[in-house]
Amino acid sequence: MSLLQRDREIILSNEYVDNFDFAEAEEFVKNASKNLFISHAFKNNKGKTLVQPRGGFPTYDKMHALYEQFSPVVDVLPMTIDSHTRLNDYGSAAKMLRLSEETETDLLNGYPLVNHGYRTTRKMVTHFDTPVSLRHGTPDARLLIELAIASGVFEIEGGPITYILPYSKNFPQDKAFLYWKHVERVCAKYSTINEPINRESFGPLTATLVPPCITIVIQIAEMMLSLEEGVKSFSVSFAQTGSLNQDLVTSKVLRKLATKYAHKIGVTDATINLVYHQWMGAFPRDKFKSDSLIDAGAMIAKMVGADKIITKTRAEAFGIPTKEDNAQAVANVQYTLNMLQGIPSFVDEEEEENLTNQVDEIFEAIFNDKADTLWRKVFNSIKNGIIDVPFSPHIINNNELITVRDKQSNIRIYKKGKLPISDKSFKYEQSKLNLGANTDSVVNQIIKDIGVML
């Protein structure tokens, strides 16, 4: 028995798992409909931006009803997991699921997949015969992804950086790298028997003034960690920055450097996709402004040639969107995307050169770390502030990098902390700013910049 299989058997012996059948799960994936694989949809829909909302309800019936609402208008169905499951607290999830079913009140903020089980969930997934994307925010997703794949969910979001630094305060970062290494190996194993399982990194991070160089470095780092374990389909992503120009530049540099660094680790046969998240910051309460923001996001996704867009709704400022809110938003985005044909391609070459240099400079420092494995190099780089995510709650994050917006709403580096960008790159960032020495004015500017869309 391999070490991977031994670990899988230990993980799936959890008391909340109902007799996991390895042979049956593998046979199911082997014979699963191609329509369930987003990797297949990407391959067969070149030039089309697939549309995916967010969404998840605690009970099977409500989740099924959500999918019925979505089915006519979406290309990819979401499966957002509840917070108890994300923290591996399956006991609390079981209790809240039971109460949700008894009272017909949603006492969980997502679908508790572990408690429903893969046999039950598979009935729903295969019924709709549409790719499903697992959205979860789980530091230790080893059990969850086993049950997701056995259910027919063949896209797994997340990673050891993007599901730790934005979401967690104390979860050990080194453990996260090892747990996600296991996830990558399971995904790679299943990818050999049918279409590839698609892995997707979470580009928005904290969704608060994250400079593009940090977003791109983290996306590519998680991609490399996945590809080196044998994954053959990976999606890098980023969120609407608030600047059209910066979005166009980010998309071009991210695509270009993702290929470059995949080749750097010797991987030339993987498919790399680009995913665009509509605005992830504070949403305007004015629904006309919300609609305009959503339309702008759809337009930019088309301009950057995104392989998939993840949508928002006009209800974002008020709470969890209803299934009707979500379906309406998706229909509107589909309409906008279909209307935008023949958009010219252009990019700011000066900005592209600067961003490319910043990413390469950071990666040079990462690869120069004395550790003997890539994950340790990346881990050390986070610990040492070479990778620094603004407004991350995690204790390992340095939080010395400070960013503000310039007059064109581009996110600029105001204080670089330990970010290993060159003097030339930093001077370029500074040249775009017009801030006084008064610290209060910088704080006020940051507050204003966080609420830029309100």
54 is catalytic: no
Amino acid at 208: T
Contact (Cβ atoms closer than 8 angstroms) between residue 90 and residue 16 = yes
Of the candidates 54, 86, 122, 135, the residue annotated as catalytic is 86
Contact (Cβ atoms closer than 8 angstroms) between residue 267 and residue 302 = no
* Spatial distance between the Cα atoms of 311 and 320, rounded to a whole number of angstroms: 14
- The tokens describing 274, both together, are 């680009």
From residue 173, how far is each of 180, 205, 376 by CA, in Å? Answer: 11, 15, 10
Of the candidates 8, 54, 122, 157, the residue annotated as catalytic is 157
SS (H, E, C) the chain: CCHHHHHHHHHCCCCCCCCCCHHHHHHHHHHCCHHHCHHHHHHHCCCCCEEECCCCCCCHHHHHHHHHHHCCCCCCEEEEECHHHHCCCHHHHHHHHHHHHHHCCCCCCCECHHHHCHHHHHHHHHHHCCCEEEECCCCCCHHHHHHHHHHCCCEEECCCCCCCCCCCCCCCHHHHHHHHHHHHHHHHHHCCCCCCCEEECCCCCCCCCCCHHHHHHHHHHHHHHHHCCCCCEEEEEEECCCCHHHHHHHHHHHHHHHHHHHHHCCCCCCEEEEEEECCCCCCCCCHHHHHHHHHHHHHHHHHCCCCEEECCCCCCCCCCCCHHHHHHHHHHHHHHHHHCCCCCCCCCHHHHHHHHHHHHHHHHHHHCCCCCCHHHHHHHHHHCCCCCCCCCCCCCCCCCCEEEECCCCCEEEEECCCCCCCHHHHHHHHHCCCCCCCHHHHHHHHHHHHCCCC
Q: The dihedral of CA 13, 16, 18, 22: what is its sign?
A: negative
104 is catalytic: no
* Catalytic sites, residue numbers: 86, 157
